[in-house]
């Protein structure tokens, strides 16, 4: 069984935790990844201080990470076997259980913004592929230039994976966020390019409400990263939230989740959470997961990897 590291801290008022993906980030870049998380958490904190909703704050944090080419989301994301961008993203409102998600979405600057528009329209939950792209265009989003969003580093990663027969495609760098406001409203959001060299049309847990993302203000909010197939098979985000509802305290709910995914399926990953009482937590069974957390009642932003 992999060793699980975790952290938890209580907060009052609004609070936010972001992650920059579970994986094996080399020590030269891990610090910069953590600083990118700090920037995202602090932007969300500024918005919450100014009265933004939890959905707005979650989108601000995730878009900040999508726009940062260091992460596997938005610009710089992992490429599929055809060398294309194919985004998964999801967002959920804990007060209303409204949710929006996109799977295998072609190049758009901020996939999480499209997922949020689906949530706001409150008719569908998950749209995928070209259908999702056409829906987004019909709601005023423009397609992005894939060439402008693909980085040299992501091309090089794909070549290495293809040379290796398609193995070793876990990129790390998926991004996510959980937010609570002073009234106890919760939101969760996740965004990724998925696995390097994945088949065309593959969708992972980050596209799925209940697997990658879940929020229910009566229990908690969760965003996951890691071995997507294992997180889908265990409906991992919902499982963690149900652990919180059952009374798991501090980081217990997400540690229990990661233990179960490792024990049953040999899957590794990481999770961030906020429970209904304002306890912020992260846990990981991988060697690294960059993260940052800020809260109204704290004088500093906590950061790590």
Whichever of 14 and 87 has its CB closer to ligand ASP, that residue is 87
The rounded distance, in Å, linking the Cα atoms of 206 and 176 is 9
The rounded distance, in Å, linking the Cα atoms of 284 and 251 is 11
Query: What residue ranges bind ligand ASP (CB under 6 A)?
Result: 21, 88, 170, 172, 174, 192, 194-195, 204-206, 225-226, 228
Whichever of 90 and 251 has its CB closer to ligand ASP, that residue is 90
Whichever of 226 and 278 has its CB closer to ligand ASP, that residue is 226
What tokens were used for 213? 């993302």
Closest distance between ligand ASP and the C-beta of residue 65, in Å?
13
Catalytic choice (174, 190, 225, 234): 174
> DSSP letter string over 148-162?
HH--HHHHHHHHHHH
* 174 included as an active-site residue: yes
Whichever of 71 and 135 has its CB closer to ligand ASP, that residue is 71
Closest distance between ligand ASP and the C-beta of residue 195, in Å?
5
Closest distance between ligand ASP and the C-beta of residue 174, in Å?
3
Count, residues in the chain: 305
Place of tokens 């500093």: 300
Strands 126-128 and 99-105: parallel
Closest distance between ligand ASP and the C-beta of residue 278, in Å?
26
The rounded distance, in Å, linking the Cα atoms of 89 and 212 is 9
Place of tokens 């939890």: 54
Which residues are the active-site residues?
174
């Amino acid at each position: 069984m992999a060793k699980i590291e975790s952290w938890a801290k209580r907060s009052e008022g609004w609070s936010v935790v972001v992650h920059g993906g579970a994986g094996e980030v080399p020590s030269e870049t891990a610090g910069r990844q953590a600083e990118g998380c700090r920037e995202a958490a602090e932007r969300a904190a500024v918005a919450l201080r100014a009265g933004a909703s939890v959905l707005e704050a979650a989108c601000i944090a995730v878009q900040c990470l999508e726009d940062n080419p260091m992460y596997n989301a938005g610009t710089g994301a992992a490429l599929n076997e055809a060398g294309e961008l194919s985004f998964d993203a999801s967002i959920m409102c804990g007060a209303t259980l409204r949710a929006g998600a996109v799977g295998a979405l072609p190049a758009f600057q901020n996939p999480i913004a499209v997922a949020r528009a689906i949530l706001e329209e409150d008719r569908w939950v998950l749209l995928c592929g070209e259908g999702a792209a056409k829906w987004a265009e019909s709601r005023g989003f423009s397609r992005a230039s894939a060439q402008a969003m693909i980085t040299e580093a992501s091309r090089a990663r794909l070549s290495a994976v293809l040379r290796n027969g398609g193995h070793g495609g876990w990129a790390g760098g998926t991004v996510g966020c959980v937010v609570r406001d002073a009234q106890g409203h919760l939101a969760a959001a996740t965004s990724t390019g998925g696995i390097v060299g994945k088949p065309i049309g593959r969708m992972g847990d980050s596209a799925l409400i209940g697997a990658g993302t879940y929020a229910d203000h009566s229990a908690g909010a969760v965003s996951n990263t890691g071995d997507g197939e294992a997180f889908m098979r265990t409906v991992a985000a919902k499982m963690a939230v149900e652990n919180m509802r059952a009374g798991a305290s501090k980081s217990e709910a997400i540690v229990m989740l990661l233990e179960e995914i490792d024990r049953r399926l040999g899957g590794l990953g990481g999770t961030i959470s906020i429970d209904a009482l304002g306890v912020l937590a992260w846990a990981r069974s991988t060697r690294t997961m960059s993260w940052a957390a800020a809260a109204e009642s704290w004088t500093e932003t906590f950061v790590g990897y």
